[in-house]
A and B are shown apart, each in its own frame.
Chain A
Amino acid sequence: MTAAAHLASQNPQPGKQAAAVPLRQLVQVTTRQHQAALLWAAGVAAVLAIALAATGIQVHELAARSGPNWYGLTRASVDYGGVLRAFALILQLAVLLAGMFIGAPLLPREIDSGTTKLAWTQAASRSRWLLAQVLTLASLLTLAALAIGAEFGWWLSPFPHSTGLSPPWPPWSPWWQLRFNLNPLLLAGWVVFAFTFGVFLGAAIRRTLPAMAATLVGYGAVLFEVSASWRMHYLAPLHRAVAVQFQAGGNYGSSFTWGSRLPVIMSQGLGWPDGRLLSAAEQQRPAAWMRLHHIVMWFTYQPSSRYHTFQAIELGWLLAASALLVAAAIVMVRRRPA
């Protein structure tokens, strides 16, 4: 649709509250204004999609030919575990780039070039203008993330569905730090967060390069903290005591299984039946003492069944944080001069 379709009618009467510019129009403003950047982003996404498709077909063929342990049998050809790591890193980087190159410059670029003085003196209010820009770009990024995330899931599907035990995980573990957030929904959540984080820093700093640098550092720090530690504390871990057979000489063994779904074990140690762990000195006691006091092995762990809950929790706080960041950016844009 062109602007010709909404031909002007009357000048507004003085004193009357002006009607708001329809959001649909402002979405068109955004797509028209960022056409070139969007084409670039689409190009990057397309290259990624093609690379995933090309290697994914090989992975699927190999798996079909060589059976369930295919990835261990390919010593002579390509190391697909390595390819998997590379793709995971590239996807993480792409999310960061969306924040740095689409989010962070959104406002500073306009302030630099003076075009805020054009955009903010038209009928559309600053808040609606910014909201439309953010919603439009975030929606397009979400679509791209969902598509790439789904394709990556397909790419991974021939790898073993190993669950977990403790880190370091193999790259095909769904708990692997660099893979956990690459499932389609969570990938979209992280892209939206990176983008809105960039928009927020752009509104706060108002200069393009510093805003991009701050996005790089800030987003990197958040991603690292979340992946390395926060994520495993979304819900309080469970504890489980396991009987231990103590033998003379300090050896002990245990015969139990976690079943088919291995949990993520956060820590383990010998302890009293009531849950207290042994001190360093007590751990040196002889087997007879251990047996006498019914010492057991305590596991602190997150059950595998919480995987999807954790995904949902992470998606939830990412979206809430994104909404807050956008709200803060709008407040700053309303309060501060053009």
Chain B
Amino acid sequence: MELEHLRSFGKTSKQRKLLPFLFVLPAILIILSLAIFPLGYSVYMSFNKYSFLLSPAPVFIGLRNFIEIFSDNVFLYSLKVTAFFTVLSVLAETGLGFELALLLNREFKGLSIVRTLAIVPMMISSVAAGYLWRFMYWPRYGLLDTLLSLLGIGPLPVWLSDPETALLSVILVDIWQWTPFTSLIYLAGLNAIPREPYEAAEIDGASTWQTFRYITLPLMTGVIGVAVLFRITDCIRYFDQVYVLTRGGPGYETYTTSFYIYRIGLVGNFEIGYSSAMSWVVNFISLAVCIILIRTVLRPSR
């Protein structure tokens, strides 16, 4: 908008229209071929009964997949697992990440070392992180059990195999790995806040809490919204560490929806139709959450 004259500067009107088009074309082509086509195909498949291994061709069955989904107890349970996982992880990562960002947003000796160490977890592959935590959680000999029994705490659960603790243990791994990421985003946000409001607050004699409540927090709403948006969508797709840590077990305690769809669609009989239908249910949920977040948190700040 602000660039009307830059935009109208091209030499001929033809060039003016062609160049922007050429700039966006490669991106659009890539996305069309590798995202939109598969998505369209999976819409089509969700109305079919089709197993990659067992059936010769897809059979159109209308909405029957979707009807089946809502009486599929494992799927419904996996939604519950995913929702619990998402809420707990995102809350913890937002709180801990923000607190850490506030701590790191000042000068002290060793700041750069601390900042560097703080981003280590998010640089590690989720598969490696999964193994790392499997060692940590290892019954009796693992670091966690050794330390806790040194402190005289016990009897200890078998973290990843106990239905009571399995999901919480997996959540802790996610918090460990992604708190640095939220913290980085908040730190970037804190750095970008202008100085003037703080100077004004100091002159007016505002307390630390008032400054935080009425200046920092409102200015950071957009940034918090972005971080939460990223984390929620990442939690909804959560797959890697479940695969490495628990394979969904014990029972269905850590079956996230992504993991269940994988089990149905990409191993065993490759139930393409049914798993496509499930993935569309997840897409709609993910999309709905995003739209609500963007409307409520991100819009007003722009």
Are A and B associated in one complex? no
* Residues in A lying within 8 Å of B, measured CB to CB: none
* Residues in B lying within 8 Å of A, measured CB to CB: none
